Structure 1
Amino acid sequence: MTFEMFLIFASRLSLVLLFLPFSALDKVLNFDAAVGQAGQATSNATLARALILAGLFVEVVMSLGVLTGVADRLAAFILAGYCAATAVLFKQFWRAPDFRLRGPSKGRETMWDFLKNFAVAGGFLLITFGTQAGEAGHFFADPLSSTHPYEQGAAF
């Protein structure tokens, strides 16, 4: 493995490390608690279970896609949407009764988690669309394509 390939792998790993293995493993080991948290947002136990199972699938399969480069654009796009959806559903800082900018505040802490979700989504969107405006068309033309991240001289 060349140094460049290592850097690409380390960059991608840093994006998915949150999901694979940590969040996915947490969902498996603490499934009932995860369903309980999802149930607070949905008020439906069956839907909450389905959402946690779907989230587990997304976290494992899409993370592997980003790491391996197999349909990595689509995997990154789905993970970006997942990050945005979980921020909106589970990081609702605007509903916290103690939200304030100074002093102790659970709401402010949740706001930072909300923003971090969108920052991670932005990293995934860079994999999806590339860094140049003209490269976004490649994804829309062939969403199952790969960026071929580990090939020498690979380009979008």
Structure 2
Amino acid sequence: MAQLQTDKALLARQRVRRSRRARADLADTGGLGDYAEHEPDSTSNLFDKTETATKLPAPEDVPVARYVINHDKQTYADKTTVVANAIGAAIHPLPVLTAEGNGRGGGDLREGSITGHTTLVGTWARDRITVADIVPDGYQALEVDLIEPW
């Protein structure tokens, strides 16, 4: 009887994990991972909190800016210098730099799955970030050279 209850609990946890993975595949979570740390004084993380967040309609006309700017670190990534792989696919710097929970689940960005400075992954998580066509004075360029070889 105890083994049956343990098996049921294991199956329930696996269903929750599959559900979370499906949500992660379908939702644009801005780099938040379902394996991210829990929020302080909470039993959930930012990914979980997206379940109850107010969904806003996408704006009709959105300008596309060249630079992704981190105001906390006074650095920026130039999207025009992101390197593409052999089939022409490039990794956008924003989800890479703001990733949380990297190394804890499928789809992780780590040595072996990508090349380049893998230590950059998640270094901008929770920082104040904007996009613009002009970089503020005194900000330093960040080389984002991550490539998925596939």
Q: TM-score range by the shorter chain?
A: under 0.3
More strand by share: 2
More helix by share: 1
TM-score under structure 1 length normalisation: 0.23
Higher relative contact order (CA 8 A, sep 6+): 2
TM-score under structure 2 length normalisation: 0.23
